[in-house]
Amino acid sequence: MQVQAIQHSVSLPAKYTQCKMYLSAIARCLHFFQISRNEKQWKSWFDKEAPEEEVVPNSYDQSLDCFRRLLLIRCWCPDRTIAQVKKTLFWVILDLEKMWEESDPRTPLICFLSMGSDPTDSITALGKKLKIETRYVSMGQGQEVHARKLLQQTMANVSPGGWALLQNCHLGLDFMDELMDTVTETDFVNDSFRLWMTTEAHKHFPITLLQMSVKFTNEPPQGLKAGLKRTYGGGLQDFTPKCHKHWGKVYETLDELKHVLCRRKFGPLGWNIPYEFNQADFNATVQFVQNHLDDVDIKKVIQYMIGEIQYGGRVTDDFDKRLLNTFARVWFSEEMFGPTFNFYKGYNIPKCSSVDQYLSYIQGLPAYDTPQVFGLHPNADITFQSKQAKDVLDAILSIQPKDSSSGGGETREAAVSRLADDMLEKLPPDYVPFEVCLCPMNIFLRQEIDRMQRIIALVRHTLVDLKLAIDGTIIMSENLRDALDCMYDARIPARWMKASWASSTLGFWFTELLERNRQFQAWIFEGRPKCFWMTGFFNPQGFLTAMRQVHMAPGSPPIYPLPGRRPDGPQRERRAHIRVKDSRLYSCPIYKKPVRTDINYIAAVDLKTSLHPEHWILRGVALLCDVK
């Protein structure tokens, strides 16, 4: 749908133009030509909190089958796509015993590891229940010898046999082919033998081994309720000293913080960088507080240890460090010991004296956590659900067959070749090397043009070679194959993305290339512009530095900083620890793109606010120059 020309035109109100591309693509099977006549009904349906649960206007509720209804939801409300999918799927709880009953000695059982989930304990517990010994080897360098010995012992056709568990097989890929031959070609195998394997997804894992195996995964429970239940159900007594009256509240707050810090699912709104906070960080924090609860000022010490050492030691971004310190400052304060303190409405610190009472309180928590629990705006959930839907659809798209079309339509190669011709025709010519005077602005322009020239040359070289490979003149290399697949799916080839900038689709990316080139051409041939497009620079911080150097020269006009800004500029602000001097000012970062990294960072501005700046820090508020 993304490559083929859209023949069907859909009449839509202006406010729905962002959906036009998707609606046009499915117009062949769904007729939306009457949307403009019933705009109020469609708008009312669109504005519902859960449109997939409502009746579709224009009597489409009766005429659409399950799949076409999913297409409709995908076009109108991308963030509700997964919710609609869940209505048609059956969710099955993993049952290892049933999997064992369906397996046989020559069929391995492979578990794909996910973050926070390890099936080792469950497999061992099942073996004990069935009175079968389970022995395991963790794969890695030099572990092949131990793996061979383990297989010989457990596969032998003499008692007792048993189960073999090979952990982290992605670290021993060279042994996988030998393992497959051993399992399939051994003449006699003990009937009680089973081969369990755990691995991360890896593109070099043998396909044949995957095809002959039973594959499963076991993701950990999601949400605060499941996380708290797992913590308190795992032996809180080991951490509970009886010497301090506030220990229960401190422990509950530490545990709540541990799960709230997992707001990385919200992407850049949660953390600029997705940190891997784990159970070891929590245990270290609990142990420190337990040892020093009576000796130190609990408020200041806990705030410092959490924000700078226990959790803060993993944080590398200045604004992420500010967020973490804000959590520590807001939650670990004197109000924490008061009766009215709560993390969010419905999430308070219970007065419990036993683990059973804590578990009873946890059972009453909501099953679904709203973004406000993590300190975010409710709209953060829309961003998360839209990203989740995009990731699922991209994965489905990536595993589609790549063979040429056998029907009468246009083949993949022909479509990509036509697209390559169009891009080559629009691609700007190469820049001619030139000398520049030693002026900071000219040096900055030369550096930007050098990077742009490398991208233009890379794109032209890839497109020319791709056309030759499609015609059979040269060999289709791995990079060219990736470019063909990405261009057909309207995605950006990996080599182009690595050398340039992020964008949502290939069309947006190529349009930005032309716009960047247009700005540089105007600067070269028409003189320095009065207005600059900051997003069009590779290094906007370098532009600000060059501009400041120019105006610091004798006789140059001064730069007047924005109200509330420090006169030493963004470079020093970035290196220094960010502190809010005025309680009415929020230091708001500016980024080129939604991905909030140092590459996209431009500067920070101080914005006046009627609320405390901590409110906006917890919500991850930032200014974006581009959202595509």
Two structure tokens written together for 381: 């959930």
Q: Work out whether strand 134-138 and strand 163-167 pair parallel, antiparallel, or are unpaired.
A: parallel
Tokens for 191, please give them. Answer: 């009937």
Largest CA-CA distance found in the chain, in angstroms, rounded = 94
Strands (E), 88-210: 109-112, 134-138, 163-167, 194-199
Pair of tokens at residue 392 = 């699922």
Question: Tell me: domain 412-543, CATH 3.40.50.300, correct?
Answer: no
How far apart are the C-alpha atoms of 331 and 341, rounded to whole Å? Answer: 9
Distance CA 108, CA 189 (A): 13
Structure tokens at 171: 């670290």
Q: What are the CA-CA distances from residue 291 to residues 170, 258, 296 (Å)?
A: 40, 19, 10
Identify the pLDDT of residue 6. 30
Beta bridge partners of 196: 109, 165
DSSP readout, 273-328? S-----HHHHHHHHHHHHHHTTTS-HHHHHHHIIIIIITGGG---HHHHHHHHHHH
What confidence score (pLDDT) does residue 281 get? Answer: 82
Sorted by sequence, the CB contacts under 8 Å of residue 227 that are 6+ apart come out as: 221, 255, 258, 259, 262
In which residue are the tokens 């304060």 written? 333
Neighbours of 572 (CB within 10 A): 10
Cα atoms found within 13 Å of the Cα of residue 159, Cβ hemisphere only? 2
Residues of the chain with CATH 1.20.1270.280: 412-543
DSSP single-letter state for residue 561? P
Domain with CATH 3.40.50.300 in the chain: 96-217
> Where are the strands (E) in 328-459, listed by range?
342-344, 347-348
Using one digit for the tens of pLDDT, what is the confidence trace for 605-628? Answer: 999 999 889 889 988 899 998 877
Residues of the chain with CATH 1.10.8.720: 224-380
Give the Cα separation of 117 and 12 in Å (integer): 47
Contact between 601 and 627 under an 8 Å Cβ cutoff? The reply is: no
Question: For the chain, how far is it from start to end, CA to CA, in angstroms?
Answer: 20
Domain 96-217 is found in CATH 3.40.50.300: yes
Q: Which amino acid is at 362?
A: I
Q: Is 190 helix (H, G, I), strand (E, B) or coil?
A: coil
From residue 67, alpha-carbon distances to 26, 45, 64, 392, 394 in Å are: 12, 19, 8, 16, 18
Question: How many helices and strands (H and E) does the chain possess?
Answer: 25, 10
Q: What angle do CA 535, 539, 541 make, to 5 degrees?
A: 95
Token pair 């080139």 is at which residue?
A: 517
pLDDT tens, 353-376? 777 787 888 888 877 778 888 888
Q: How far is CA 183 from CA 123, 156, 195, 513, in A?
A: 20, 12, 9, 53
- Per-residue model confidence (pLDDT) at position 408: 59
Predicted confidence (pLDDT) per residue in 496-555, tens digit: 999 999 888 899 999 999 999 999 999 988 888 888 998 899 999 899 888 888 877 777
What's the pLDDT at 388? 85
**Rounded to whole angstroms, how far apart are CA atoms 437 and 449?**
15
Q: Class of 224-380 per CATH? A: mainly alpha
C-alpha of 277 from chain center? 15
Helices (H), 130-235: 144-155, 176-185, 207-211, 224-232
If you ran DSSP here, which 8-state letter would residue 221 be given? P
Q: Which parts of the chain have pLDDT scores under 50?
A: 1-15, 33, 237-239, 241-242, 562-580
Nearest to 278 by CA among 79, 515, 117: 117
**pLDDT, position 199:** 93
- What tokens does 519 get? 């700005």
pLDDT of residue 394: 83
SS3 content of the chain, % helix, strand, coil (to 5): 50, 10, 40
Burial class (CB in 10 A: 0-12, 13-18, 19+), 67: exposed
Q: Who's near 440: CB < 8 A, 6+ residues apart?
A: 545, 546, 547, 549, 550
Whose structure tokens read 């048993």? 162
**The two three-digit tokens of residue 198, written as one number:** 């755990």
| Contact indicator for 324, 312 with CB cutoff of 8 Å | yes
- Report pLDDT for 68: 81
Nearest Cα neighbor of 500 from 600, 421, 398, 427 is 600
Per-residue confidence (pLDDT) for residue 489, from 0 to 100: 86
